[in-house]
Chains A and B, each alone.
Chain A
Amino acid sequence: KAGVTQTPRYLIKTRGQQVTLSCSPISGHRSVSWYQQTPGQGLQFLFEYFSETQRNKGNFPGRFSGRQFSNSRSEMNVSTLELGDSALYLCASSLTSGGGYNEQFFGPGTRLTVL
């Protein structure tokens, strides 16, 4: 079974631009979560989607948004990019949502660099 895939793997943008990252979960998984990883702040939860609905949201500004499609694929969008948005963005999928005990399978991440 294929793992979680994220595209693109690397991205370079300039301040003020917007960016869209894509995540395809493991087949059959319906929950997708997004995390931001930076050297300064570590791994931080962005949001979780399940059945096309946002179930939980982390403490990030409204410039960060996401959505999930009927096939469980998810995208996250960052508008008006800032230098501090440079990070590794990780997507994780799990079978279902809400339990807390569901194993989350992580993709390789998208490395975003903002110049």
Chain B
Amino acid sequence: AQSVTQLDSQVPVFEEAPVELRCNYSSSVSVYLFWYVQYPNQGLQLLLKYLSGSTLVKGINGFEAEFNKSQTSFHLRKPSVHISDTAEYFCAVSATGFQKLVFGTGTRLLVSP
């Protein structure tokens, strides 16, 4: 079975500051890793994914994440956030061979001017 831990339930940050949202996972098999964003009253939108290859993954809206196998982490980063980045961010994993996504509890990013 897989599990995902997002330690920070809420991250406040000022506009144009850098941000890192943390994600750790646990699995006995190989997994694929994803970050999704959810804006109020909307569904989930994929930010980026790690399938294989380079451990640094670049996504949409200037976000990037680094896969660290030894630390079983997949932290999300953005060098300079905007007010519009205010949303809930979910880290998720899926095991090879299965379509099921296992999500973390989410991190609410609050960007203030």
Please indicate whether A and B come from the same complex rather than being unrelated chains: yes
What 1/0 mask marks residues of chain B from 4 to 27 whose CB sits below 8 Å from any chain A CB? 000000000000000000000000
What 1/0 mask marks residues of chain A from 85 to 100 whose CB sits below 8 Å from any chain B CB? 0000010101001111
Query: In the complex, are the beta carbons of B103 and A108 less than 8 A apart?
Result: no
Query: In the complex, are the beta carbons of B100 and A94 less than 8 A apart?
Result: no
Query: How near does chain A come to B40, taking the closest CB pair, in angstroms?
Result: 11
Query: In the complex, are the beta carbons of B105 and A100 less than 8 A apart?
Result: no
Query: In the complex, are the beta carbons of B44 and A48 less than 8 A apart?
Result: no
What 1/0 mask marks residues of chain B from 76 to 93 whose CB sits below 8 Å from any chain A CB? 000000000000001010
Within 8 A of A (CB), among B49-69: 49, 51
Which applies to chain A's interface (DSSP): helix, strand, loop or mixed?
strand
**Alpha-carbon gap, A48 to B102, bound state (A):** 13
Q: Which residues of A contact B36 (CB under 8 A)?
A: 106
By size class, the interface of chain A is: 20 to 34
Known: A100-B94, A100-B97, A100-B98. A107 touches B43 (CB 8 A): yes
17 more contacts with CB within 8 A, not counting A33-B101, A58-B100, A109-B42, are: A33-B99, A33-B100, A50-B99, A56-B99, A92-B101, A94-B99, A99-B96, A99-B99, A100-B31, A100-B95, A100-B96, A101-B32, A101-B49, A101-B94, A103-B46, A103-B49, A108-B43
| Residues of B that sit less than 8 Å from A by CB | 31-32, 36, 41-46, 49, 51, 90, 92, 94-106
